[in-house]
Amino acid sequence: MTDSSKSNPDSLTRLVNRARAGNAPALEQLVMVLQPQTYNLALKFLWHPQDAEDACQEILVRIITHLDSFRHDSSVRTWAYRVAVNHLLTAKKKRFETAPMGFDAFADDLYSGLDTADSFGQEPAHALLLQEIKIGCTTALLLNLDRDHRMAYILGEILELDHQEAAEAMNTSSATYRKRLSRARRRINDFMQAHCGLVNTTSPCRCSRRIKPAIQLGRIDRDSLLFTSSDSAKEHARTFPDVLSKIRQLEEDRRTAALYRSHPEQQPEKSMTSWLRKLVETHGGAKIHH
Give the separation between CA 288 and CA 62, rounded to whole angstroms: 19
pLDDT at 270 over 70: no
User: DSSP string covering 89-155, please?
Assistant: HHSPP-TTTSS---HHHHHHHHHTT--SS-TTTTSTTHHHHHHHHHHHHHHHHHTTS-HHHHHHHII
User: Could you name the CATH architecture of 1-99+268-290?
Assistant: Orthogonal Bundle (1.10)
Tell me the pLDDT tens digit for each residue of 157-181. Answer: 999 999 999 999 999 999 999 999 9
Q: How much is the pTM?
A: 0.90
Give the separation between CA 105 and CA 109, rounded to whole angstroms: 6
Beta-carbon contacts of residue 247 (< 8 Å; ≥ 6 apart)? 198, 199, 255, 258, 259, 262
Question: Which range is least confidently modeled, 18-27, 122-131, 201-210, 277-286?
Answer: 277-286
* pLDDT above 90: percentage of residues in the chain: 72
Say whether 218 sits in a helix, a strand or coil.
coil
Residue 272's pLDDT band, with cuts at 50, 70 and 90, is low
Look at 2 and 269; give whichever has higher pLDDT.
269
The domain limits of the chain are 1-99+268-290, 100-222+231-265
Residue 80's pLDDT band, with cuts at 50, 70 and 90, is very high
CB of 254 within 8 A of CB of 245? no
Question: Which range is least confidently modeled, 92-106, 111-125, 188-202, 269-283?
Answer: 269-283
Helices 126-142, 174-195: inter-axial angle, 10-degree rounding? 130
pLDDT at 2 over 50: no
CB of 271 within 8 A of CB of 49? no
| Mean pLDDT to the nearest integer, 257-273 | 86
* Confidence (pLDDT) at 100: 82
pLDDT at 1 over 50: no
The string over 208-217, giving b where at least 16 C-beta atoms fall within 10 Å of a residue's C-beta and e elsewhere, is bbbbbbbbee
Residue 97's pLDDT band, with cuts at 50, 70 and 90, is confident
Question: Which range is least confidently modeled, 90-99, 113-122, 280-289?
Answer: 280-289
* Confidence (pLDDT) at 267: 87
Across all residues in the chain, what is the average pLDDT? Answer: 90
